[in-house]
Amino acid sequence: MTRYLFSLVFIPALLTVCGCAASSGAPATAIAQPEIAAAYLPLHGRIHLGLDRADGAAVVIAPGIAVTNAHNANLLDPKSVIGTRQDYDLLFFRTPKQAAPQTAAAVLGEGVTAYGQGGDGELRVAHGVVREIRQCSGCAASAYFVFAGNAGPGFSGGPVLDGSGRLVGITFGYKDEGRQRLIYAYEMSRVRAELSALPKALN
């Protein structure tokens, strides 16, 4: 069953966010790509008066700056937040980490790998194939892409990599259609464009 939890401009209106307590994907002992491993940030916290656990992820995209989903705000120290983007489920925050991984554009039909967190705080991994790249009207950068895979709860804000280990997207939601699950991720060109729209990020 698909739950409909948020609606934002330039993204599908009927999606389930990925920051819940359940686990999806498969257990992973480590992130295989050293650059991504160095930039990856697991996020954990409690919601609903501390009764329910929430998990998500983030990744460094510039020296001292990381990105995750805006719906992961409760998993961060508010003092670290640089800002969010009104039309996208994106939140940028400061981190001591400085090394940002190489990025690339998603390619239709290519295999991708996503990382996130499980309900017990363990690293999880999911693999899929890019099914669609969606443009937004009047935008220079693509809005998001869709891949079929087993990502889901705990993958919110986590990195999506291409076959060469380059960062191509940031996961923000999923939708079950019949027997397959479609995962939605912002393209890195869109993420960079939204970061550039935050003056505080450049100070």
Element (H, E) at 191: helix 188-196
**Which whole number is the average pLDDT over 94-115?**
96
Q: pLDDT-derived band of residue 140, with 50, 70 and 90 as boundaries?
A: low
d(CA 148, CA 141): 22
**Is residue 98 pLDDT above 80, yes or no?**
yes
DSSP letters of 10-69? TS-SSBB-S-SSS--SEE-SS-SSHHHHHHEEEEEEEETTTTEEEEEEEEEEETTEEEE-
Q: Please give the structure tokens belonging to residue 100.
A: 């940002």
Instruction: Give the range with max mean pLDDT: 42-51, 85-94, 137-146.
Output: 85-94
End-to-end CA distance of the chain: 44
Q: What is the pLDDT of residue 138?
A: 64
Q: Is the pLDDT of residue 116 over 70?
A: yes
